[in-house]
Each structure stands twice: as C-alpha cells, then as structure tokens.
Amino acid sequence: MIIKKVRAFSLAFKNHHREVINVIRARILCENSVFRNTGAIAEHGWSVFLETDTGNFLLDTGQGQGLINNALLFGIDLSSIEGIILSHHHYDHTGGLLSLLNHTKKRVPVYAHPDLFKQSFIRTADKEVYIGIPFNKVLLENRGAEFTFSREPREISPNIFLTGEVPRMTDYETGDTNLVLKQGEDYTVDTVPDDQSLAIKTPAGLFVVLGCAHSGIINTLEHIKRITGENRIHTVIGGTHLGPVSEHQRNESIKALHTYNISRIGVSPCTGLPTSARMAAEFGSRFMFCNVGTLVEA
C-alpha cells in the first residue's frame, strides 16, 4: 500500500482524555435492499440512525421514500436526534431531508460541507442527470435545518468525529470520472471533496460509518486514524464506492483492507453486488450486508 506523506494534524481533540462511548446501536433505515422486514421500503440510498450513550444522530436521509416509513416500522423516534449528518450532497443521501424536517417539526443542527448545494451531474456518452441535493437552503432552513458547515475535521459530540474533507494520499484511489460539475457549457470532474465519514471511539476501537468514501476507503480510514489518534478499527459500515471505480483501484483497496484487522465490514449501495459478493468471500464471517433493518451494535 503506497501512501503519500501528509502533514501531521494538530487538532485539539486528538489527545483528549474523555471516556470512550460504550453503547452504539446503528440501525440501517435506507438502503437498496430489504430482507425479511415486511413493510420496509428499499431504495437506492443510505441512512443510518445512531443511538449512543451521549446522544442520537442520523447520518444521511436516503432519497426520501423510505426514511419515515422505515423509522416508524422499527420503532425509532426521529425527533430524538441531536443532529443530522450529511455525508455529501448527492440526492440519494440528502433526498429525505425535507420529509425528515417536516416529520420532526423541530430545529436541528445539520452538519455538512460548504459545497452541499453545488450543482453536480453524472454524465455518460448518452445522457446527463442532475444528482445534487433536491432542495434549496432557504426552504430547508425555514423547515428547521440549522446548517453548520465545515471543511475540517470536528468532534460534534464527545468521541464522535466527522472527518471533513479526506486527503487523497494513495496512488490508486482515483475515483469516478463520470461525476462532473457544470459551469456554462464546460464540465470538470467532481472529486466530491465534500464527502465525509463519521467515527466513534469505543473500548474495542473505532466504529466507522462511511457515506460513500468517494476519496477512497483507504484514504478515509487513514485520515480517521490521524484525526482520532486511534489506530484500532473495529467496525466499518457504509458505502465503499468500490463498484464504479477501476478494477485496479478495486483490487488495491480490497488488498489494503485486509491489513487493518477489522472485525466487522458491512457494505451498502455504491459497493455494487459483484464487489459485495467478492468481499463476502474474502472476509468471511467478518463481512455483512447492511440492508434496511440491519442492526449493528457495539
């Protein structure tokens, strides 16, 4: 695994001495498949309800069709959340935000990147499709969103960290060139620097919830280790974005994952079925599919 040198972080929270979080219950509310949960709705997207002993949070909101239905089905009180975390601007992670705000009827912090409202597309040889957040800032603020934007890592609650922008350090995690930004008639590749992940310190090590890992899953995990000061990674769930990337990136990232001694790896939509099947074979009992209704505890 080749990783470029990067400057050392000097974050104030890196050496704090608070107790770690002892209770985590992560319930998958939005994903593109459902098994054995009658009444649940599947959709291409991602949302995770996080219940911890220092407060409850929601990471991402799916497309907007399944979030409220599935929360009610699994007995989850969405009004209990102390914050909403948006991993990045794509519609399948932000599309349920308006319905969530309408449902909770409360003002709530929304942690996001300053580029949340950028205009982005997926472009192929025969089509161009808008894939950004489907709502404007004013509407969401009027419904209760209190946006707090940052490009930097931050500790939003004791021992709960957001990565901010993830530096690209490996020489093989180059991303997806079909994602573009449009200015007039010109296009530029969107490297999705706004994509961030969440990490929670537990007695067993880090509990990581990915958005889509657009900057690369290895880049993301290395960044998390630096900002938290914790080298042990116990659990990783979420989008690895290993589906749309090159075969070379896929092979190198999976090879590198084997070096981390991760106890549990659970994947979601952007991993893709062929890559998910490969990872299930390679990681064996440590692997899980994070479908709607899956409960991951620590």
| pLDDT string in tens for the chain (298-residue length) | 444 444 444 444 444 445 788 889 999 999 999 998 999 999 999 999 999 998 999 999 999 999 999 999 999 999 999 999 999 999 999 999 999 999 999 999 999 999 999 999 999 888 899 999 999 999 999 999 999 999 999 999 999 999 999 999 999 999 888 999 988 888 899 999 999 999 999 999 999 999 999 999 999 999 999 999 999 999 999 999 999 999 999 999 999 999 999 999 999 888 989 999 999 999 999 999 999 999 999 8
**What pLDDT score does 18 carry?**
56
- For residue 44, give the nearest of 127, 119, 124, 129 by alpha carbon: 129
Residue 246, helix vs strand vs coil:
coil
CB 96 within 8 A of CB 78: no
pTM of structure: 0.92
- For residue 294, give the nearest of 23, 22, 26 by alpha carbon: 26
**What pLDDT score does 5 carry?**
43
CA distance 179 to 217: 18
